[in-house]
Structure 1
């Protein structure tokens, strides 16, 4: 028996060699396994090994099963050595575990945050707690180099250091020598005749750099950016009649020292074609005239690929309105190269009508599913409606919770008349910090602060707090908005606030106005774009006497007391179709609001109207207009309460003048506002010098006009103040930042000037 054991041990099947080759000289005669033992385990559970073996106690062992067992155990990736030994009828599995990665660190990494690098390695399987594998470490080095190449750091070097520590663990340190980034030295476009090279290069986001390249990084080569620029180049030609334009090749050459990059784009323009005619063929559901009204291709005008795409898209969407989700529309060109003419035949086949079986939402890791679904106007088990799907997408986009929204239509296997809608979203941070400030000789530095969360706890509700630390105006306010207070979309807004204000005076007094209040407001949607608001509130206002108190406030106190109470009732309407609430480029915003106090100490009516319009002139230039009107009147023979006056001047109104100093003044010289207000603003956004087409950093010029008037004053437009200036708009990590330098162009004696202002988080 002892001789048999020794002989079988001498025939041990070892390592991957035995797993890959069947060596008959070392074969073991088949036998029935009476017991299986595992040796060498440290962290791996024995059950993991037993589950991978192709035999159990009582089964017959063969050489083929032994080879399969070794392959299976090596395939787990947990062991660096596996052996099988036979002692009588007992099979012994001897393993040597791979060391476990205890920590991953990076030395010399400045271009990337360490968490971003760890995430990249995690995606290829290398992270703390996983078995260490040299092949995986080699892949990690390649992945790190790839990440740096994507940032134009072609000379980056990565060296991996493996440090063994106790309990069969290792620490991995990736030492990175980043070097200097390779920069674009030259961009060449070869083959262009109709347009100058400078014009075509102006379409590119990539360039050879400028004094702001440290911020825009536009001189760093990126394949993705180049592809986007080539698409812009292609669209430029195709939208100007060059039907057969093509990009023949693109060469990217890097210098031997890996510091300079030259990009050469070879193009063939072809001839310019004019559209000679458009006709329809196919099944248009008997609605040919309706479809003709959707045609954007114009005969007699140069070929425009964007018009062709818009036409086919319009046709597909219109078919979708009737439930034909699988309609096919083709714009077939007929080219006459002798006359440089092209005629289009629009072929349409509606295919079959379908209804939506199921709507699936993905990507909303933080936002609750219902927050997305309640914005949908296309319902499950209803006919497919392209208009409702587009409206649903726009409503989800207007939530402001997602940076990407994609809706795809998927066939249902075995059900040709059904489709599923798959909505995938990419969430973005919904919390924001907003700051504003202004400097003047009277108010010195005044700071405003607010923090808000538009999607609190993924519920879609808004929570915000505002704090103003101005020398003369101190405010603290809390706001909560539930956009779906009822399932039908009625919103509820709760405001609680306390304000303490003082005059804008060079030798300002020490009196103050303290207002504490709360309000409850509901918003009722009357259409997809229109909402009507109504609500009520309660306010307590205390006039705290002191030096230089305005006579208007003393008169109000004599009539209503130094402490007064109001119960304002509010009603309003809004329509907002802007593409962004923070930094819009197109669309309009309208707000109409009214406030009335019919009992308590104050009796008045107060109303305001605001209109904003954003017009993109092209990819680089945007014009913005803003207008605001305010009106107030006292009731029951009483004057309009001075505490409800409108103010103008400074941030959000007429820049170049100190905050709230325009309009009537008391005999003491204090600005007390007025019962009527007018404000007009105009802005032109242009690319910032050196920033290329980067829309996150832009230069703007502005022109402001406005003033406020007392209740008994004549509305004299000759008293309007005006200012002009320039500023910088930057979409910073904490919100839109705007720096402005203003110069009053229409001012009067006694006006208080404030030429420099900045704000974060608001427009105008």
Structure 2
């Protein structure tokens, strides 16, 4: 407490002493408080150590004043006596009306406000000069963590009306101090370059504007020291030690030098590895989880992973609080380690109740049927987590969280509490999209993914573009039976003009109706059965090619198909083709298998998905053909918010019976978004006699892509960027020649107005494109920038 405050207390004590001097001890019959403006009378009564009916004397003065000063609400206090009434006179401290920041750029007003609130300085609070003195210390701490060491702060307090003050904080941030050099001293086995590339801190480089790795912070340095320690311990240097660290800043506070002094020690190998303790799980099962063995170099990482794997395995059998401790015995003379994993399973834990919270629209049963952890059975950490993943994959919730609090009064029971944040599952929309391939897309869609909270889906949609006009109705019940067998129906009509999407000139009118069933085989595998009936009408244009005309009319007689050059080809200039017609009715059963371990339905970052499908029209259909396909995706989390994806897809189709080959309108196409980016949509592969893309009976597509967050927006979950390598080919017959390659960058945004995907790609081996005098197109058609808006990815 400052000297002037002590002097004031002493003076007040003397005044009060004079006021009561000569008076005898008296009983307080009433207490009055004068001078209050914002503070309530009840607050003063609560802190005043004197009550009505109690005796009051000179000995009570000092404790009373001290108690009221301790609240921090008042800057002056005096006590008086009027008969049997105790008068408390107070002068309140001013309140803080506003806090103004000036000059802050690196830290927002909200960040600074939160920092000051922690030390008790905020708008609406009582102003205390002692707290104001801590402002520079707290703000310096905030800016130092961002590498701003040239910080200057000045504060100004102005008096306002109604006993209020305004605080003006002027900030001169200065330049960010950059790491000029990092030195490791004492390392002989590994050179500086090898060690430093594992650290988060770095000297300035081309990516530092984004990664901020050249900005020093104490937290980052501590993390890097642990990384350095782990690097040595994972390679057998069990006695490795960081002896000291020095951080020096230049006088102009612009450059920082970091020095790390280490002692490497010797390499140690494992001599014995054993399990001990209460092995409640069969030892052979636990031995399979041990990732270290005799003769190997000691690795703390492998030992830690072993402990975790054993602990997780015990957790699956209900031992939720199991401890698996590594107990190393070091032999300094032999430079060896005997490693014992001591297992303490604790008590087996059971689940008392599974509780759902936050599902105000979705029925409880919709969530409970996704549960893999059951009530009254032992707790399984993997089943609890898998249940959470299944809830996330429903697509009905923005957020899913799970907690497992112990049941009060028991040592072997827990509750499992799932809390969800629902998002709108219904969608009534009419809008406009744009695609480089289809042009302007008009759409109207009524969809409900969670009808009446039942988990069933109903969809009625209309889409119209220069390429297609489509009317669709669909219904899907994911739990047609209690065992998880799903059922769906679909009806639709689609009219397409193929020439509008860079492929051969023809049109189709298709009416379809279908039913499908899905059968779960286990937690990650399922079978799907579809039966679709299609009625297809083919139409030619004046620019339809030989191949299309021959398919419809044949060429063993008068050809009824003309183009801008007149009648196409004489019958004797092409192989004889039997007329197939222009109207077809087909019935096509299909079967599919899916293996899916992805952790999320949208923007996953871990797991894999495999899909196999086979379709064949039944014998006797107007067209007899089959198609088979396989697609595989793998997601690997490389670091925080960085995900690597490998994707491959193959497809093949052919005719059988009375159909000589795969109908051309069922061909595979390549190029563009979702295929080989950098090549114009659908243009990769065989061409027809007019030079337009005709597709082929086989497809091979491969993709490798690295996803990362948007710079300066790492918390955004609806946007991601990527860099990729695409490869693929479209052929007639199953072969992998004529592969096309491209590299580039991509972006995806799940906007409120629809999905947006963009890419900028460079084809690596595109053949030169040219248009002959007769209009025939040769070579590859490149399109470096591609995007879709209002379409699914």
Whole-angstrom CA distance in 1 between matches of 2:391 and 2:12: 56
Corresponding residue number in structure 2 for 1:85: 80
| In the alignment, structure 1 residue 723 sits paired with structure 2 residue 751 | no
Give 1:261 deviation, angstroms: 1.2
Give 1:383 deviation, angstroms: 2.5
Whole-angstrom CA distance in 1 between matches of 2:702 and 2:37: 73
> Contact 2:503–2:683 (CA<8 Å) still a contact in 1?
no
> Contact 2:177–2:253 (CA<8 Å) still a contact in 1?
yes
Q: 1:404 to 1:514 in 2, by over 3 A?
A: closer
> SS in structure 2 opposite 1:588?
strand
Q: 1:340 to 1:165 in 2, by over 3 A?
A: same
> Contact 1:100–1:169 (CA<8 Å) still a contact in 2?
yes
Give 1:671 deviation, angstroms: 4.8
> SS in structure 1 opposite 2:69?
helix
Q: 1:366 to 1:554 in 2, by over 3 A?
A: closer
Corresponding residue number in structure 2 for 1:278: 273
Q: 1:643 to 1:127 in 2, by over 3 A?
A: farther
Q: 1:497 to 1:732 in 2, by over 3 A?
A: closer
| In the alignment, structure 1 residue 704 sits paired with structure 2 residue 720 | no
TM-score normalised by length of structure 2: 0.72
Whole-angstrom CA distance in 1 between matches of 2:792 and 2:294: 42
Correspondence 1:26-41 to 2 at 5 A: 27=20, 29-41=24-36
| In the alignment, structure 1 residue 553 sits paired with structure 2 residue 507 | yes
Whole-angstrom CA distance in 1 between matches of 2:376 and 2:676: 54
Corresponding residue number in structure 1 for 2:565: none
Corresponding residue number in structure 2 for 1:4: none
Correspondence 1:664-679 to 2 at 5 A: 671=693, 678-679=699-700
Give 1:540 deviation, angstroms: 3.6
Give 1:731 deviation, angstroms: 9.3
TM-score normalised by length of structure 1: 0.74
Whole-angstrom CA distance in 1 between matches of 2:447 and 2:145: 43
Corresponding residue number in structure 2 for 1:541: 494
Whole-angstrom CA distance in 1 between matches of 2:588 and 2:76: 81
Give 1:144 deviation, angstroms: 1.8
Q: 1:745 to 1:513 in 2, by over 3 A?
A: closer
Correspondence 1:277-676 to 2 at 5 A: 277-285=272-280, 287-356=282-351, 377-378=372-373, 381-392=376-387, 415-419=410-414, 458-459=422-423, 461=425, 468-470=433-435, 472-473=437-438, 474-475=440-441, 476=443, 482=449, 491-502=455-466, 512-524=467-479, 534-542=487-495, 552-553=506-507, 560=537, 574-578=594-598, 586-591=606-611, 609-614=630-635, 624-629=645-650, 647-663=669-685, 671=693
Corresponding residue number in structure 1 for 2:571: none
Corresponding residue number in structure 2 for 1:202: 197
> Contact 2:425–2:450 (CA<8 Å) still a contact in 1?
yes
Give 1:554 deviation, angstroms: 6.9
Corresponding residue number in structure 1 for 2:562: none
**Mean alpha-carbon deviation: is it higher for 124-133 or for 295-304?**
124-133
- Which 5+ residue runs of structure 2 have no aligned equivalent? 1-5, 512-534, 540-582, 713-718, 770-776
Q: 1:546 to 1:259 in 2, by over 3 A?
A: closer
Whole-angstrom CA distance in 1 between matches of 2:162 and 2:750: 44
More RCO (CA 8 Å, sep 6+): 1
> SS in structure 2 opposite 1:80?
strand
Whole-angstrom CA distance in 1 between matches of 2:243 and 2:168: 45
Q: 1:317 to 1:169 in 2, by over 3 A?
A: same
Q: 1:703 to 1:648 in 2, by over 3 A?
A: closer
Whole-angstrom CA distance in 1 between matches of 2:49 and 2:757: 63
Whole-angstrom CA distance in 2 between matches of 1:369 and 1:147: 47
Whole-angstrom CA distance in 2 between matches of 1:641 and 1:130: 78
> SS in structure 2 opposite 1:95?
strand
Give 1:388 deviation, angstroms: 2.6
> Contact 1:650–1:754 (CA<8 Å) still a contact in 2?
no
C-alpha RMSD of the superposition:
5.3
Post-superposition CA distance 1:292-349 (Å, at most 9, x none): 2222112221111122112222222333333334433333223233332222223333
Correspondence 1:63-78 to 2 at 5 A: 63-78=58-73
> Contact 2:17–2:58 (CA<8 Å) still a contact in 1?
no
Whole-angstrom CA distance in 2 between matches of 1:63 and 1:566: 107
Q: 1:87 to 1:670 in 2, by over 3 A?
A: farther
Post-superposition CA distance 1:505-525 (Å, at most 9, x none): xxxxxxx53223343334359
> Contact 1:249–1:266 (CA<8 Å) still a contact in 2?
yes
Candidates 126, 132, 140, aligned match of 1:131: 126
> Contact 1:582–1:736 (CA<8 Å) still a contact in 2?
no
Q: 1:546 to 1:657 in 2, by over 3 A?
A: closer
- Which 5+ residue runs of structure 1 have no aligned equivalent? 1-12, 426-454, 503-511
Give 1:199 deviation, angstroms: 0.2
Post-superposition CA distance 1:368-395 (Å, at most 9, x none): 9989998764456543334334535655
Candidates 735, 745, 750, aligned match of 2:778: 750
Corresponding residue number in structure 1 for 2:554: none
Post-superposition CA distance 1:113-132 (Å, at most 9, x none): 22222232334333322222
Q: 1:706 to 1:204 in 2, by over 3 A?
A: same
Q: 1:640 to 1:536 in 2, by over 3 A?
A: farther
Q: 1:655 to 1:274 in 2, by over 3 A?
A: same
| In the alignment, structure 1 residue 174 sits paired with structure 2 residue 138 | no
> SS in structure 2 opposite 1:681?
strand
Corresponding residue number in structure 1 for 2:149: 154
Give 1:594 deviation, angstroms: 8.1
> Contact 2:434–2:788 (CA<8 Å) still a contact in 1?
no
Whole-angstrom CA distance in 1 between matches of 2:322 and 2:747: 44
Give 1:221 deviation, angstroms: 0.7
Give 1:148 deviation, angstroms: 0.6
Q: 1:305 to 1:729 in 2, by over 3 A?
A: farther
Give 1:623 deviation, angstroms: 6.2
